[in-house]
Amino acid sequence: MIEQYLHDAIGFRVASGALAGRRLRVARTLLTCRVAAEILNEMQMPPETGGGYRFVNVCNPRNPLAFDPAGGGWHCRAALAEHPVWGLNWAAAGLVCAHLGARLPWAQEWEALASNNDPSRLYPWGDAPPTPVLANFDEHFGGTSVVGSFPPSELGLFDLAGNLGEWCQDLHDHDADLPMERAVKGGAWSKDAGHLRIQASRGKWGRLGTTTIGLRPVWDD
């Protein structure tokens, strides 16, 4: 499954701004629970211990990932195998990307690929208002959905708006008093339509693995 996920990456060139000319390969979908479990096992990620967590939010009983102490390692709930993984904090997301030879996108890169290099575009699909046919948002579905359930962008990328937000490299510059906040792009299943706008951004403490944030690796070409 990991090899297939890598094979499906799409080439992209940033056309304008400070990063103009940068060439990337971008994962077609958010990282799924099935692939995340395989990667954690390849990384030999140890189980989380104690009352807190370092990387994987096992404190949330709904987390799609769990560790089998009998020798099975990390696994995902079967019903959520093709859903995007959540519960990985910013550090874990970076480690997973690094294991794939990838990284998290910068917010400016994310906006470029989400808009297909059109800075005037409101949403990944264009300027039409969001609906539950176009994206998973605002509690319409009560949780995450299988990746690829909604129409792709012109580039062939899925869930750029809704399902889960996406960790970015950047500090969230709107929260200068909260230096541990990282930028999150893309809205989520429980967030309102305003979060689906390409230019929208929110901050989240990088230490937390939450129910509304996943990841999409990018590779430098």
What is the distance between the alpha carbons of residues 1 and 5, in angstroms, rounded to a whole number?
A: 6
CA 189 to chain centre: 12
Q: pTM for the full model?
A: 0.95
Domain ranges of the chain: 2-220
pLDDT in tens, 47-70: 998 889 999 999 999 999 999 999
Q: How far apart are CA 213 and CA 192, in angstroms?
A: 14
At 132-143, the pLDDT tens digits run 999 999 999 999
| pLDDT, position 177 | 63
What is the model's pLDDT at position 176? 58
- Asked whether 136 and 163 are in contact (CB, 8 A), the reply is yes
Q: Can you tell me which residue has the tokens 């995450």?
A: 144
pLDDT digits (tens, 9 = 90+) for 163-206: 999 999 999 875 556 567 999 999 999 999 999 999 999 999 99
Nearest C-alpha neighbor of 218 from the set 121, 100, 135, 48:
100
What is the tens place of the pLDDT at every residue in 1-20? Answer: 899 999 999 999 999 889 99
Q: What is the pLDDT of residue 42?
A: 97
Mean pLDDT confidence for 28-43: 98
Give the pLDDT score at 174. 58
Instruction: Supply the pLDDT for residue 71.
Output: 83
Q: Which pLDDT score is estimated for 50? A: 81
Query: pLDDT value at position 179?
Result: 62
Q: If one looks up domain 2-220 in CATH, what number appears?
A: 3.90.1580.10
pLDDT digits (tens, 9 = 90+) for 75-129: 999 999 999 999 999 999 999 999 999 999 999 999 999 999 999 999 999 999 9
Strands (E), 17-61: 23-26
